[in-house]
Amino acid sequence: MKELTRARRLVAGARVAVVAPSGPVPEERLQAGLDILRGWDLDPVVGPHVLDRHGRFDYLAGTDADRAADFRAAWCDPAVDAVLCARGGYGAQRMADLLDWDALRAAGPKVFLGFSDVTALHEAFATRLGFGTLHGPMAAGIDFVKNAHAQEHLRATLFEPESVRTITSAGRALVQGRATGVLLGGCLSLLAAELGTPHARPSASGGLLCLEDVGEQPYRLDRCLTQLLRAGWFEGVAGVLLGSWERCGPYDRVRDLVLDRLGGLGVPIAEEFGFGHGEGALTIPFGVRAELDATTGTLTLETPALT
């Protein structure tokens, strides 16, 4: 697995576009997030359809075409230095095939941030564009708006990425050892749902795979892991990092499940690396090569997340 092209870090005055590729966005949280971004001396602009709600399917932030149009316009605007997702939910897969990937590639790399349902776009950016992305708190997300730890780690990643090249686990090694690879992954259920689509990579071979999820009972997580295993998607993976598993049942059961399904891979597996849907979520750069030391519980980036 090759490293992906990194975007440039942000500087004071940088323009950042906020888009809603998935679910509807609460206006009060959006405004709170914009205030935080302005406090960082950024210039946030909001896509025309960010506050839309689909007329028939109220779990979508407007129509697929409008969400895709907002995304394309933001990414292809040369005055925009970063595209930040407002929230996750559901809907990114519905609009992914409506994006003009040639136009996005021609616009070049820039900061792209999101997680959860945005996992589908992280995968597409890797396979279709070769651009690295940031898996982290979103502009109208509860964690970003209310948690200082999440805010500070994201701010440091955006402005001073060399200061956050080591991330320490709060848990332990499920399988001890060290491994080096390119970071990838995201929400487990989305990775499973991407199988067979035009944007899915054939496997996680050579990668350090980050996994997390929310609101999925253990048997559903089992199904996703088993599906990926049966598809050969884990073949050649270098190591596995686990993030948060909010509302996924007793964590001991989740831990046992991961060991049952992935322990046989014979690669290092470490838990509680602080990314995902949990409180105070950290920002993880996808497409960057890193070393996982599961025994000591550290992830060390070989290069900063942004140039």
- Please give the Cα distance from 161 to 203 (Å, whole number): 28
**Sheet order of strands, 207-214 included:** 166-168, 298-301, 289-293, 178-187, 207-214, 239-246, 269-270, 173-175
Q: Assign 3-state DSSP to the chain and report helix, strand, coil percentages, each to 5.
A: 35, 20, 45
Q: Give the sign of the dihedral formed by CA 144, CA 148, CA 153, CA 156.
A: positive
- Please give the Cα distance from 180 to 178 (Å, whole number): 7
Of the candidates 164, 120, 143, 117, the one whose C-alpha atom is nearest the C-alpha of residue 285 is: 164
* Distances in whole angstroms, Cα of residue 109 to Cα of each of 81, 153, 181, 263, 306: 9, 22, 21, 36, 11
Place of tokens 């205030």: 35
Contacting residues for 134 by C-beta, under 8 A, at least 6 apart: 111, 112, 113, 114, 157, 283, 284, 285, 286, 305
Catalytically annotated residues: 116, 212, 277
